[in-house]
Structure 1
Amino acid sequence: MKIPSQQLLDDLKVITEQNIQFAENLLNQTDEKLNFRLSEKSWSILECIEHLNRYGKFYIPEISKRIENSNTKSTEIFSSGILGNYFANSMLPKENLNTMKTFKSMNPIHSKLDKNVLNEFIAQQKQMIYLLNEAENTDLNKVKTSISITNLIKLKIGDTFRFVIYHNLRHIEQAKRNH
């Protein structure tokens, strides 16, 4: 996938802004509604958001550190890497969402959760908007980030942004089904 770098960053900012708006609207709901799950094995709205917070705790500092330590200049076109493109596209919500196994440490099912989960998510997403703005002066092709499952694989930061934000979108769509 090739896309103008600025267009990619702008598209990802729009998704992130919409996710912030959704979470802010959830602050008006009761804890009971936010903790309701459709079945014993499905996640509640807050569990979906908590799952994203757990990933955010890894990716936001990782992306921030890589941008801070980069001395690259922005590039006109972002070209997705093979693995990065695969990971990012696998996160996009589909009509019949294929369920994926998550790591135990990232699975919030049956956690005691309240609206602090939403406030943390909103704060993380505002940090993500800040990082997307900072990335406008970074080469999205050359700067690489680690991924949460292994230090052996590094992705282009453009693909990391896509992966994280598409993953957020996927679970926001999951939360909406409980809404």
Structure 2
Amino acid sequence: MLSTAFIAQFEAQIQELSATVAQQLQPLPSHQLNYKPTPTGWSVLECLEHLNRYSRFYNAELAQALSGRRAELAAHEVGFSWLGRKSYDTVKPENRKPQKTIKHMNPAGSQFTLAVVEEFLRHQAQLLELLAAARTADLNRKAVRVEFFRLLKLRLGEAMLFVVAHEQRHVQQALRAAQAAQNREKEALLVV
């Protein structure tokens, strides 16, 4: 895919994620946002806090990769390495296989506030700014460290693909948690 189409696709996906979170999750009451559908499942806010922890790392990595003096590049084909494809396949939204998360990225067992949602939306705005800066960057340059093994680097385009797919995956999970919370309340009302 050409870099221009690649960036445009991500911009649309990030705008959609932001709108979904702002319209469907942010208005929910705190008890629904903190409801865990299963004892080991994550609440809405745990899903978003997990994404915030990744955004704190990857947004900074992307910003660093895009900063400094670099030659402006015209539209080009975006390629992928084995590591980039494997990273994407692990987190893509259609892969419903549960993945283990590393300990410091696991927010399970915490009670959070609406500030988590607000931080998520700020990270999305920042990511949109980074994508604008990436329009003329070489998306095939290895420049972004992998969070869990920082000696490995992803290409700029691969890192963007990973970040957006990971966010889509966990926003879908958050939506399912919200639906479970709402269904539980409806069931409780019917029992009374």
State the TM-score bracket (shorter-chain normalisation).
over 0.9
TM superposition shift of 1:112: 1.7
1:89 corresponds to which residue?
Answer: 89
2:142–2:153 CA contact under 8 A, matched in 1: no
Distance 1:169 1:151 in 2: 23
Q: What TM-score does the superposition give when structure 2 sets the normalisation length? A: 0.88
Q: How does 1:63-142 map to 2 (within 5 A)?
A: 63-74=62-73, 75-94=75-94, 97-142=96-141
1:48 aligns with 2:39: no
Distance 2:50 2:133 in 1: 25
1:5–1:77 CA contact under 8 A, matched in 2: yes
Q: What TM-score does the superposition give when structure 1 sets the normalisation length? A: 0.94
2:33 corresponds to which residue?
Answer: 34
What 5-or-longer segments of structure 2 have no aligned partner? 179-192
CA shift digits 1:120-171 (9 cap, x unpaired): 0000000001101110010101252111012211110000000011000110
Among candidates 15, 18, 32, match of residue 20 of structure 1: 18
| Pair member with larger Rg | 2
TM superposition shift of 1:70: 5.0
CA shift digits 1:16-67 (9 cap, x unpaired): 1111111212221100111111111000011000000000010111100110
Distance 2:115 2:69 in 1: 33
TM superposition shift of 1:90: 2.0
1:70–1:138 CA contact under 8 A, matched in 2: no
SS of 2:84's equivalent? helix
What 5-or-longer segments of structure 1 have no aligned partner? none
1:143–1:157 CA contact under 8 A, matched in 2: yes
Runs of 4+ in 1 over 6 A off after TM superposition: none
Distance 1:58 1:7 in 2: 25
The number of residues matched between the two structures is 176
Which amino acid in the other structure matches residue 59 of structure 1? Answer: Y
Which amino acid in the other structure matches residue 145 of structure 1? Answer: V
TM superposition shift of 1:72: 3.0
What is the root-mean-square deviation in Å for CA atoms of aligned residues?
A: 1.2
Fraction of identical pairs, as percent: 29
SS of 1:76's equivalent? coil
Distance 1:22 1:109 in 2: 23
